[in-house]
Amino acid sequence: MTQHNNISIAITGSGGSGAVTAGLILLEAMAQAGFYGLMQRSAGPQIRGGESAVMLRFADHELCGPADVFDLWLALDWLKVRRFVDEIPLHGGSQIISDPMIGEPPAEVTGQQAAFIDLSLKQTAATVEGGRVNMVGIGVLAAMLGLSVATMHKAIQKTLSDKGKAVISASLAAIEAGMRLVPSGSVPLTANWQVATGERWNISGNEACGLGALRGGVRFVAAYPITPASDMLEWLAPNLEKIGGTLLQAEDELASINMIVGASFGGVASLTATSGPGLSLMLEGIGLAVASETPITVVNVMRGGPSTGIPTKSEQADLNQALYGPHGDAPHLVLAPLGISDAVFTTQWAVCLAERLQTATIVLSDQSIGQARAIVSPVPETDMLCTRQTAQDIDGEYRRYTLTPDGISPMAIPGTPYGMYTADGLEHNEKGTPSSMAADHNVQLTKRSDKLLQTDYGEHWAEIAADDEAVADYLLLTWGSVSGVVSEGAGRLRDQGYSVTVVAVRLLMPLPLQQMKNALSGAKKILVVEHNYSAQFYHYLMSLGAIPQDASSLARPGPLPLRPGEIVTTMTGEQHE
């Protein structure tokens, strides 16, 4: 059932105002206080000085996506706020905290029903040496949320540890000054929230992918910087070094994909991370990995497309490319994490499957996962078979692409005596010698396809949340990052008395069709939910005959995120309040 103890807060301001830092501090403070949280961000195109917004949501339970509306909005200034005002929907009870000295809010803001809390943030900041408006603002929010001074101390220490003592003490003083702006005796917004006692993590989606990669055994990464994937690489670079791995910054994505193919040929599990434009450049290399049966993993942190698109905002629009991008018949795997925590598991699983099946795996994360940060329960290590079958003690003629019952041929790693062979992107025979003969082509095509289709992927292909009823009224079928929003929408539908099943697909290709049909069987109304314009997932499922003809589609492009209320209204046809 829907869990109600949650609050959504937006902090906006132009660059230099410290909105992002404020968000990070508040997230850490709420974590210190024993709560869960989610911080997503939206930024303008400028490197510095651009407008930015952080969208926070806090709760006494783990969160899986944004709410419908924001309860509080801390506006540090109104500069270019129009650019993302539609990303901050408000409701009648919303409150906007701002300083009248920053000027008049634009009509798009005043036109909404929210109440304004006018506070002298600037003047208060001026009373503290080195005091900044964003810190005063955090103080206000902290007091409203019922956070203690001690908690704020801890959060500041942790978040600003590398900024020096002067900054830390000035920040603390400003926060405390801000806290004093809230009348004492007001009831904290978290008054009746449960406080978590167990261990929790503060982790971003990109970090979660990186951690999953390391757990999967990745020890080589080559990549070219691209928004919104870069901070995964920045996390991986130092951490790979610590455990004997390497990250190499390549000259372009053509280089990075081929570097990881080369490294994997050398026997080391290898990965690259990129976003849509980079994935486009990598397609030929992915085909090479498929044809030469060299395991690789490509994490694509999707952003708005096509072309350069909307680099800083999220969309699930690269599905078609991930499924069909490489030329020729190039069977490979496509997976998608269902949220931030799940990015650890899904990336690890992707690496393991690539290693085990000697093929290319594409992981479709996106900006709403990658650049978001959450307070979550620790993600336990999952046991899974990650071993690549290698050829050892070779006796007699070695055949790299020898036919086996499961289609997987033991791979000789350079350095193995008597295993010398030439891996090839040209069609080849079992030995690896180039061949354009029909028989060899058929045999190798079948081998590469069958080894993926014959694998039992187990229960992890999707997360299925069903009610006890034998037949669900509604079945919500979705994938990747929007799964969290869909789950929350499903919870509300259940509150309204409907029986709802959610099928959130993690393994998109090859899709375990029989399991999918079992999961869907009997559902009265099926809605396929995804975050792109052209309903790519819906059409994919239709093309496979995975869903009935009367299944409907909710497909909406970014940059606005899907919200739980949208799921409810689409399903019931009623307007959500």
Cβ atoms of 315 and 302 closer than 8 Å: yes
Contact track, other proteins, 79-118, x by CB under 8 A: ----------------------------------------
Cβ atoms of 281 and 255 closer than 8 Å: no
DSSP letter (8 states) at residue 223: E
Residue selected from 115, 166, 426, 544 as contacting other proteins according to rule CB under 8 A: 426
Instruction: Tell me how far, at minimum, the Cβ of 109 lies from other proteins, in Å.
Output: 34
Q: Which of residues 377-406 bind other proteins (CB under 8 A)?
A: 378
Task: By CB under 8 A, tell whether 246 contacts other proteins.
Answer: yes
Residue selected from 185, 396, 405, 415 as contacting other proteins according to rule CB under 8 A: 415
Q: Which of residues 253-272 bind other proteins (CB under 8 A)?
A: 254-268, 270
Q: How far apart are CA 423 and CA 440, in angstroms?
A: 15
Torsion, CA 252, CA 253, CA 254, CA 255, rounded to 10: 60
Instruction: Tell me how far, at minimum, the Cβ of 188 lies from other proteins, in Å.
Output: 20
Contact track, other proteins, 24-53, x by CB under 8 A: ----x--xx---------------------
- CA–CA distance from 544 to each of 21, 333, 362, 477, 522 (Å)? 46, 16, 20, 15, 18
- CA–CA distance from 54 to each of 39, 73, 104, 542 (Å)? 7, 10, 21, 37
Pick the closer one to other proteins by CB: 55 or 286.
286
Q: Which of residues 167-206 bind other proteins (CB under 8 A)?
A: 199-203
364: left (phi over 0), alpha (psi -120 to 50) or beta: beta
Residue 359: closest CA among 407, 421, 301, 305: 407
Q: Which of residues 296-335 bind other proteins (CB under 8 A)?
A: none
Instruction: Tell me how far, at minimum, the Cβ of 259 lies from other proteins, in Å.
Output: 4
Residues 6+ apart with CB under 8 A from 491: 1, 2, 3, 564
Identify whether 225 is preceded by a cis peptide bond (ω within 30 of 0): no
Determine the interface stretch with other proteins among 421-429, 440-448, 466-474, 537-545 (rule: CB under 8 A): 421-429
How many chain residues bind other proteins (CB under 8 A)?
A: 66
Partnered with residue 58 across adjacent β-strands are 7, 37
Residue selected from 70, 73, 84, 220 as contacting other proteins according to rule CB under 8 A: 220
Instruction: Tell me how far, at minimum, the Cβ of 282 lies from other proteins, in Å.
Output: 11
Interface residues toward other proteins, by CB under 8 A: 28, 31-32, 199-203, 207, 211, 214-215, 219-220, 222, 239, 241-246, 248, 250-252, 254-268, 270, 284-285, 287-288, 292, 375, 378, 412, 414-426, 432-434
